[in-house]
Chain A
Amino acid sequence: MADGGEAAQNNAANEQSPLVRFEAVTKRFGSVAAIESFSLDIAHGEFFALLGPSGCGKTTLLRMLAGFETPTEGRILLDREDIDAVQPHRRPVNMMFQNYALFPHLTVERNIGFGLRQENATRAEISERVTEMLALVRLQGFGRRRIDQLSGGQRQRVALARSLIKRPRVLLLDEPLAALDKKLRAETQFELMELQRRLGTTFVIVTHDQEEAMIVADRIAVMNHGRLMQVATPSEIYERPNSRWVADFIGEVTIVEGRISASGAMDSALGQLRVAGTSGAKSGGTVWLALRPEKIGMSGERPAGELNKVPGTISEIGYRGDISIYKVRLADRSLMKVALANVGVRGNARFKAGDLVWLSWPPDVGVVLDS
């Protein structure tokens, strides 16, 4: 597609510098700080996700990029240029709104063509591009419909087409799939990824759904209370979170508190645990070991080998179909979460609540965190 080629050229020309740069951006509403000294780079052609609980400031960040809010302090650079002075209608970025914000008095066609009409494009050009966009979002034949005659999924695609027609430098997506039901959302996530790869446009998505962010994004910025907690690829964020908060926010986790001993092992209420990657942590200080439930093994007898092993009693079982989550009560009365895939037809029927079990994990699967 023509769009892809063009974007690829842009990529080649500016590979060294980021497309979007937040430089120590702070945004206050009255005395409340929504964003605090926030710095971030987004590269050309990236599918980038801003992830965080509601009220963490991610939407404010997106709206500052679109120009609907201005930073109280700091700068936002687009292609190395400060865009503070550029009004929303002159910015080369387009946004897909959370509730789609489709104009109820215009047809699908006129909604999609709205952006081009503002540029005084010729009729022929507009109609050609609109047809192209309708095909892109698979809505051929829907051009003359009114917005209130469309289903939720169709509206979502009209909104997407409308925000893409001007070939924006950056496409901003504010919770674009929040209004769709679960099944449609899952399908649309893959469609979005495919579309982004095809067009090569930089996508910045705001979402509170960590699963969605992990699936669609190349990189994720995890935010909390207006601050950046971690920026990394989805797998890094999942496997190597940099704090207890991130570890806990993304997926399921069990946190074990302890201290690093002189030998490099970790002393905890569960006894001495072998850990990896403690070079940064100073010995003697409090640290936390984050363990993902699916990395922990569970067996009836004490397993052999170079593993951390703790005994416990199954207290609750949560059956989820593909996996089951076991909450195991340990010697220090704490609970550890274990996830086992239900491989056989009868699942893991051999474990029942109240069973005595051994939990085990290799030293390198846990992450040692000092904050």
Chain B
Amino acid sequence: MRTQANRRNWGARLVVLVPYLWLFVFFLVPFVIVLKISLSQTALALPPYMPVFDFAAGWAGLMEFTAQLSADSFRLLSSDAIYLLSYLKSLQIAAISTILLLAIGYPIAYGMARAPRSWQPPLVMAVVLPFWTSFLIRIYAWINILQRDGLLNDVLTRLHAIDAPAAWLSSDTAIYIGILYSYLPFMVLPLYAALEKMDETLLEAAADLGCPRWKTFWLVTLPLSLPGVAAGTLLCFIPIVGEFVIPDLLGGSETMMIGQTLWTEFFSNRDWPVASAIAVSLLGLLLVPILFYERLQQRSLEGSR
């Protein structure tokens, strides 16, 4: 068994090593590079930042390299109100839309979980299906509806609800609609998974013990679905903070969300150090929720074991 165990260990090591190395090289190392460049300065060169670390220069090169690092980009982030406002706007939009998603998603998930057993797979399918169509298409579909000569204004003027066409597009309202639309499945599915698992005799037991329906919801259903609430909240909140496409296509130009700011710094201003600094601070901002999400994932997997 010893030699066979050794041979098996090699196979086992390979199974771990291949994806490990891949993620290490293409996920972890890039973050280190981002961190490094966020401490560099802009330069009119290719790549457009300095210092560039030169492996050939050895120890002296490393010393020189460290000496040239600076926190200028971060100083800029904290001093210029544009960036701070951008962060705040992102957090605000993410928080409000997560709450809205929860408010809309919970009744849907609850309705699905309480539907007759045979209806449930098609219902899940119905929620997931739009998610398989392109994200970009779904956002684009809303431009069709929300633009000045779009369908919404058309319908509203015909109904005489408004006199003149309103500007729906390029507003926060449009951003919220786009986010709700794109992220709804991410909220509904974890909630449904939690609610569907729930033993229905618990509700019967509560009713049997004299608990009215609304109170049963507060005392039994909601507490038991909290893991689903947490998963859905994190699954929506974290990516929404860094969202780019939705605010870019549907939002206005007054205040940008942080993802847009990063994009502009990078693609328009070609300021790689500042873009990196934005990424680093954004990641720092989201570190706590991300770690929380990871613990939740781990625990749910161990729980189902």
Interface of A with B (CB < 8 Å)?
70, 84-87
Contacts and interface: CB of A to CB of B under 8 A. Distances in A.
Nearest to B3: A85
Interface residues of B, number: 3
Contacts of A84: 1
Nearest to A70: B1
A259 to B, nearest CB: 52
Contacts of B160: none
A95 B2 CA distance: 24
Interface in B1-23: 1-2, 4
A85 B2 CA distance: 7
Contacts of A86: 1
7 contacts: A70-B1, A84-B1, A85-B1, A85-B2, A86-B1, A87-B1, A87-B4
* Interface majority SS (helix, strand, loop, mixed), chain A: loop
Contacts of B2: 85
A87 B2 CA distance: 10
A86 B1 CA distance: 6
A219 to B, nearest CB: 30
A191 B224 CA distance: 47
The 4 closest A-B pairs by CB, nearest first: A85-B1, A87-B4, A87-B1, A84-B1
A24 to B, nearest CB: 20
Contacts of A87: 1, 4
A187 to B, nearest CB: 33
A85 B1 CA distance: 5
Nearest to A85: B1
A343 B270 CA distance: 101
A46 to B, nearest CB: 28
A128 B4 CA distance: 34
A70 B2 CA distance: 12
A59 to B, nearest CB: 18
A84 B5 CA distance: 13
Contacts of B1: 70, 84-87
A84 B1 CA distance: 8
Nearest to B1: A85
Contacts of B4: 87
A184 B2 CA distance: 45
Nearest to B5: A87
A215 to B, nearest CB: 36
A86 B2 CA distance: 10
A85 B5 CA distance: 10
A365 to B, nearest CB: 48
A123 B4 CA distance: 30
A237 to B, nearest CB: 36
Contacts of A85: 1-2
Nearest to B8: A87
A294 to B, nearest CB: 40
Nearest to A86: B1
B260 to A, nearest CB: 50
Interface in B237-287: none
Nearest to B4: A87
A26 B1 CA distance: 19
A85 B6 CA distance: 13
Interface in B182-241: none
B305 to A, nearest CB: 15
A84 B4 CA distance: 13
A69 to B, nearest CB: 13
B6 to A, nearest CB: 13
A67 to B, nearest CB: 9
A327 to B, nearest CB: 33
B85 to A, nearest CB: 54
A26 B58 CA distance: 57
Nearest to A67: B1
B93 to A, nearest CB: 48
A325 to B, nearest CB: 33
Nearest to B2: A85
A16 B4 CA distance: 34
B1 to A, nearest CB: 4
A93 to B, nearest CB: 16
B10 to A, nearest CB: 16
A297 B4 CA distance: 64
A239 to B, nearest CB: 44
B293 to A, nearest CB: 29
A70 B1 CA distance: 11
A72 to B, nearest CB: 15
B209 to A, nearest CB: 31
Contacts of A70: 1
A70 B4 CA distance: 15
A92 to B, nearest CB: 16
